[in-house]
Amino acid sequence: MAVRQALGRGLQLGRALLLRFAAKPGPVSGLGKPGPAAAWGRGERPGRAAGPRAQPGPLGLPLPDRYRFFRQSVAGLAARIQRQFAVRARGGAGPCGRAVFLAFGLGLGLIEEKQAEGRRAASACQEIQAIFTQKSKLVSDPLDTRCWQGFRLEDYLIGQSIGKGCSAAVYEATVPTLPQHLEKAKCVGLLRKGPDVLPKGADGERAPAFPFAIKMMWNISAGSSSEAILSTMSQELVPASRVALDGEYGGVTYRRSRGGPKKLAPHPNIIRVLRAFTSSVPLLPGALADYPDVLPPRLHPEGLGHSRTLFLVMKNYPCTLRQYLQEHTPSPRLATMMTLQLLEGVDHLVQQGIAHRDLKSDNILVELDSDSCPWLVISDFGCCLADERIGLQLPFTSWYVDLGGNGSLMAPEVSTALPGPRAVIDFSKADTWAVGAIAYEIFGLANPFYGQGRAHLESRSYQEAQLPEMPKSVPPDARQLVRSLLQRETSKRPSARVAANVLHLSLWGEHLLALKNLKLDKMIGWLLQQSAATLLADRLVEKSCVATKLQMLFLANLECEALCQAALLLRSWRAAL
């Protein structure tokens, strides 16, 4: 009995070391049961930050600096204790002492085995991620042609107005590069100096088609020099492509300037600015009626605008998310996939150190695939935080600091912040909160943070219990996630990556979540199956459907720790039902 107790005591010591040193930094201590519920994700992926790489622990979780020695020496420590046990056994130590040394050595050996399992899982995830990162790269620039550059306003045929906001007007546009376009332009007398404005045809339809959109910024305070315009409106250029500014004088200097805004890497759920240039402000259709005050005096006597401004050329999308939802009611599964797309886009912004700060259904564009399924794209970066020097931690020293554009969907940590000498606002989960509010619109309900009356909530003062209940038709996992995204405390709110993984697992991983004992080898096996099925679906269909593109994004952003957090979160929700 004494030997059994000693063995038990030794194994407890080994397990205590595992919990104390290996599981403390992360939110899980294994896949069987949840660990401390401290953080579901901080918005930045481990191992991607600058500086020394953290040493991985079990499940690939990073160990704090003060525990780095532990992983490196645990195997040697186990072997040394076992050798000491052998010496003591030969020296005639008591059975209890021998049992403690043996069990303690076995416990440390189990820790090393668990760490090796975690390293194998992390390695498998990295290999899958590398394959789909290459597969999910965007197609080449549609305007990057040998015969046409598109860096001047005169290169375009401009159609009718698409819309206008508080700082710009957007027009549909095309390029007269194809023979049929040239013939059409000649027929309507458009080949002349200056931007060509293409009127509606006799049948009421616009011809030729307009694959592009031109955004004309309103320039009231930036002056008329290209350098001043690019500097003042630099946030609009964050999603610009690599060649967008190649034709603009001073563009190279702008890109090489230090301390300027970050440049956003391409992502399928984020708008891409294909061309950016400055030009004289033209008199476009509807200008005198829609925005006369921002026109230059040469076009309108009472106008306050400067003679030159910034123009952005982008892909022309059929409608905004608000317009789409006014005419369509997506099914619960389709609405889940739409919310997932927003989380994928926000996660990409966070990993790039950028906060959009103006997410709303008017700034989200929609295009439809061959099956009429919507693909969402985040646009309008005029209010974004993209500073190389501060990242997502904005010093809030006075009320004059710009906090973003949309006050109604401003996260609680932003709307309740008070300025001070050392005050800092963390924007790493602010856009994630806004996605939670927009999800109400996607699932067919009124946004609780819009409007007036008793149902209206304010981000400064609302409580989670006041959030409207979603209908039973909404999947339970999606209902739980939306409430989690709208948690007031950022520490209780999942990161965009973990939240996206929750929906991925809910959509595609039902068999995996149904397992009683969810272990790493089972998860890796499921990931390999998903990888094979996704590659096959992508090859069989000429143009990937929304579901296939989402699965490719999931596998391209695969990380063992974030996936384990999402799995444990889902299982805890389901266990509570």
Measured distance CA(31)–CA(118) in Å, rounded: 11
Taken as a whole, the chain contains a residue count of 577
In a domain, 304, yes or no: yes
Query: Are 216 and 351 in the same domain?
Result: no
Residue 35, token pair as written in the block: 């660990």
pLDDT at 522: 83
Q: Given pLDDT bands bounded at 50, 70 and 90, which one contains residue 44?
A: very low
Confidence at residue 63, expressed as pLDDT on a 0 to 100 scale: 46
Pick from 245, 265, 269, 280: nearest CA to 150: 245
Sheet containing strand 273-280, strands side by side: 196-197, 157-164, 168-174, 212-217, 308-315, 273-280
- The C-alpha torsion from 192 through 193 and 195 to 199, rounded to 10°, is -20
Span 390-431, pLDDT tens digits: 999 999 999 999 998 888 899 999 999 999 999 999 999 999
pLDDT of residue 520: 80
Q: Say how many domains are in the chain.
A: 3
166 residue type, one letter? C
- pLDDT computed for residue 354 by the predictor: 96
Q: Domain limits at 41? A: 2-135
Share of the chain above pLDDT 70, in %: 67
Nearest to 375 by CA among 270, 448, 523, 241: 270
Top-confidence residue, 372 or 146: 372
Q: Is 28 helix (H, G, I), strand (E, B) or coil?
A: strand
Q: What are phi and psi of 416, to 5 degrees?
A: -100, 0
Residue 83: what pLDDT?
A: 61
Residue 220 belongs to a domain:
yes
pLDDT bin (cut points 50, 70, 90) of residue 366 is very high
Pairing mode, if any, of strands 196-197 and 157-164?
parallel
Q: What pLDDT, on the 0 to 100 scale, is given for residue 388?
A: 87
CA distance 56 to 119: 8
CATH, residue 462: 1.10.510.10
- If asked whether residues 297 and 168 sit together in one domain, one would say yes
Q: Which two tokens stand for residue 439?
A: 């999800």
| Mean pLDDT value across residues 473-501 | 96
User: Final residue of a domain: which of 475, 507, 539?
Assistant: 475
Decide if 369 is inside a domain: yes
Same domain, 28 and 118: yes
3-state per-residue secondary structure call for 391-430? ECEEECCCCCCCCCCCCCCCCHHHHCCCCCCCCEEECCCH
DSSP structural state of residue 387: B
- 448 and 429, same domain (yes or no): yes
In this structure, what are the phi and psi dihedrals at residue 444, rounded to the nearest 5 degrees?
95, 10
Average pLDDT score, the chain:
78
Of 70, 103, 135, which residue constitutes the final position of a domain? Answer: 135
Residues 201 and 247 both lie in one domain: yes
Is 536 within a domain?
Answer: no
Q: 167 and 309, same structural domain?
A: yes
Co-location of 189 and 237 in the same domain: yes
- The verdict on 163 and 107 lying in the same domain is no
Q: Kindly state whether residues 161 and 223 are assigned to the same domain.
A: yes
Mean of pLDDT values over 262-272:
92
pLDDT confidence of residue 131: 76
Catalytic status, residue 141: no
Asked whether residue 54 falls in the same domain as residue 115, the answer is: yes
Is residue 208 reached through a cis peptide bond, with omega within 30 degrees of 0 on the bond before it?
A: yes
Across 191-215, average pLDDT = 60
Contacts by 159-164, CB closer than 8 A, 24 or more apart: 159/197, 159/198, 159/206, 159/210, 160/200, 160/206, 160/285, 160/286, 161/284, 161/285, 161/286, 161/290, 162/213, 162/316, 163/320, 164/290, 164/291
Residues 168 and 87 in one domain: no
What per-residue confidence (pLDDT) applies to 371?
Answer: 81
| CATH number of the CATH domain containing 159 | 3.30.200.20
Per-residue DSSP letter, 320: E
Task: Compute the CA torsion angle 311, 317, 318, 322 (nearest 10 deg).
Answer: -90
Enter the tokens of residue 317.
């999308």
Residue pair 573/482 in contact by the 8 Å Cβ criterion: no
Does 6 have pLDDT greater than 80?
no
Asked if pLDDT for residue 485 goes beyond 80, the answer is yes
The two three-digit tokens of residue 279, written as one number? 């030009």
What is residue 80's predicted lDDT score, i.e. its pLDDT? 60
Residues 163 and 257 in one domain: yes
Instruction: Report the predicted TM-score, pTM, of the whole model to 2 decimal places.
Output: 0.77
Which of 115-119, 144-148, 302-306 has the highest mean predicted lDDT (pLDDT)? 302-306
Residue 565 lies in a domain: no
In this structure, is residue 426 part of a structural domain? yes
Please tell me the distance from the alpha carbon of residue 474 to that of residue 557, in angstroms, as a whole number. Answer: 26
User: Does residue 516 form part of some domain?
Assistant: no
Lowest mean pLDDT among 350-354, 392-396, 554-558: 554-558
Last residue of a domain, one of 451, 475, 499: 475
Helix, strand, coil percentages in the chain from 3-state DSSP, rounded to 5: 45, 10, 45
**Is the residue at 267 inside a domain?**
yes
What is the tens place of the pLDDT at every residue in 438-465?
999 999 999 999 976 667 899 999 999 9
The answer to whether the CB of 103 falls within 8 A of the CB of 78 is no
Given 196, 358, 380, 538, the catalytic residue:
358
104-108, 197-201, 211-215, 225-229 — most confident range: 211-215
